[in-house]
Amino acid sequence: MLRSEKPAYIAAVKEAVSHASIVIVVKKTDYTVANSLGLRRAVRDAGGALQVSKNTLCRLAVQGTVCEVLTSSFVGRTAVVTGQDPVGLCKVLVDEEKKFPDQLQVLSAVMDGRLLSAEDVRTLSKLPSMDVLRGMLIGLIQAPATKIAGVVQAPAAQLARLLSAYSKK
């Protein structure tokens, strides 16, 4: 990368980091090109972006943002994953970490200005996705209405069964 391109790159990374709801730093060692492309595709499908750059550029990019606490994580071959769906991205990265335990490792993350450890990221990955949570919420909202309808309808149904039993006698 040319020296003249670095300020624009740093600004682009800083903007991506500042607009993301979660920023995850992963360590990649001996990761093949095919695995890397698969990881990029999975992260993109989860609504995120994966960027690999020099650690010094990443340190400069996170200065002055809430992600400044990640500067100690930029050691060795690292990549930065940014996105809006924390649970989805954590699921993707933890699944990939399970597939390739020697090649990929989640180091740390920042979500809503709070530093998360690798264990916190694994815990986030166990949560249900947003679609499942929305379904559960709608089910909870609909449950009282369904129960009320059943209670209101029950006496009429009992009366109908009673009249049916008398008519059969």
Q: Give the integer Cα–Cα distance in Å for 124 and 89.
A: 9
Q: Over the chain (169 residues), what is each successive 10-residue block's mean pLDDT?
A: 82 84 87 85 89 84 83 86 88 90 87 87 85 82 71 70 77
User: Are 40 and 115 within one domain?
Assistant: yes
Can you give the pLDDT at residue 5?
A: 83
Query: What is the pLDDT at residue 149?
Result: 67
Say if residue 95 is in the same domain as residue 132. no
- Claim to verify: residue 35 and residue 115 sit in the same structural domain: yes
Six-digit token string for 141: 């909202």
Question: What CATH number does residue 41 fall under?
Answer: 3.30.70.1730
Q: Report the pLDDT value the prediction gives residue 41, as an integer from 0 to 100.
A: 92
Judgement on whether residues 56 and 138 belong to the same structural domain of the protein: no
H helices of the chain, in order, are: 6-19, 33-45, 55-62, 86-99, 118-125, 130-168
In a domain, 168, yes or no: yes
90: its two tokens: 């954590």
Instruction: Name the residue type at position 75.
Output: V
d(CA 154, CA 169): 23
Q: Does residue 1 belong to any structural domain of this protein?
A: no
Cross-sheet strand order for the sheet of 104-111? 48-51, 78-83, 22-28, 104-111, 114-117
Helices 86-99 and 33-45, axial angle in degrees (round to 10): 160
Same domain, 91 and 109: yes
